[in-house]
Amino acid sequence: MERILTSMVLMVLLFPTLALGETMKDLVERDGLFYKEFTDVPFTGNITGKTRGTIRNGKKNGPWVYNWKNGQFYWNKGQLWKKGTYRDGKEEGSWVYNWNNGQLFCKGTYRDGKKEGLWVYNWNNGKFRKKGTYRDGKKEGQWVEYSGNGQLWKKGTYEDDKKEGLWVDYFDNGQLWKKGTYKDDKKEGRWVEYSGNGQLFFKGFFKGTYKDDKKEGLWVYNWNNGQLWKKETYKDGKLVEQ
């Protein structure tokens, strides 16, 4: 028995990778699969070092962590960075990401490697930044965003990862900045914009199926005190009358 224990200790000392597993530096990635160098068989085993996890048949599986310290996934300063699970090489289930100061950056759920459902994002001071839902990895439905001081910044709707319908933007003091509609991620229809004191700055009209948010028709600009500044007429994004 003593001889067996001695032999096991010698094996660990002489061949530490057998006891601890491989590191990512020992592997290469080809066509989405991990291999040991100079082999054609997808790797299966544990990964150790700053990156830790399990690879099965060349794909990441189960919990994975990076910059390992005291059993968690850390930035170099010792703050938790991110944690989550892989299934067959793709992110799956709940994931959490932190800023390098330890504050929460974002959290949400993956399905088959794509964001799904509600995701919440924070600023690096810990204050809420934005939230909304994903469907099959694309933004979908109502989204709201807040500034670093906690004021509502913008709100609107996405369809298939593109802005659609009414969007409203605000100044940091909470005053209305601008509002208008999008169609297929481009401004479409009537838009108005205000100065920081609440006075109308300009109003205009985006009309039709023009590309690249081109101005169309009459545009009216006001000074901050509400007095008329100028009027312009556009066609296909070009100024035709002033």
Which pLDDT score is estimated for 77? 65
pLDDT at res. 204 = 66
pLDDT at 70: 58
Q: What is the H or E stretch that residue 127 is in? A: none
What distance in Å separates the CA atoms of residue 124 and residue 100, rounded to the nearest whole number?
A: 8
Q: Which CATH entry fits the domain spanning 78-150: 3.40.718.10, 2.20.110.10, 2.40.30.170, 2.60.40.10?
A: 2.20.110.10
**Pairwise CA distance, residues 185 & 229, whole Å:** 30
Q: pLDDT per residue over 126-158, tens digit each?
A: 999 999 999 999 999 999 999 999 999 999 999
Top-ranked range on mean pLDDT: pick from 54-68, 154-168, 169-183: 154-168
- Kindly state the percentage of the chain with pLDDT values over 70: 82
Confidence of residue 17 (pLDDT cuts 50, 70, 90): very low
Tell me if residue 25 falls in helix, strand or coil: helix
Question: Is residue 120 scored above 50 in pLDDT?
Answer: yes
pLDDT value at 33 more than 80: yes
In the chain, where the domains are located: 21-60, 78-150, 172-241
Higher pLDDT, 26 or 210: 26
Q: Which pTM was predicted?
A: 0.78
16 has a pLDDT exceeding 60: no
124 sits in which H/E element: none
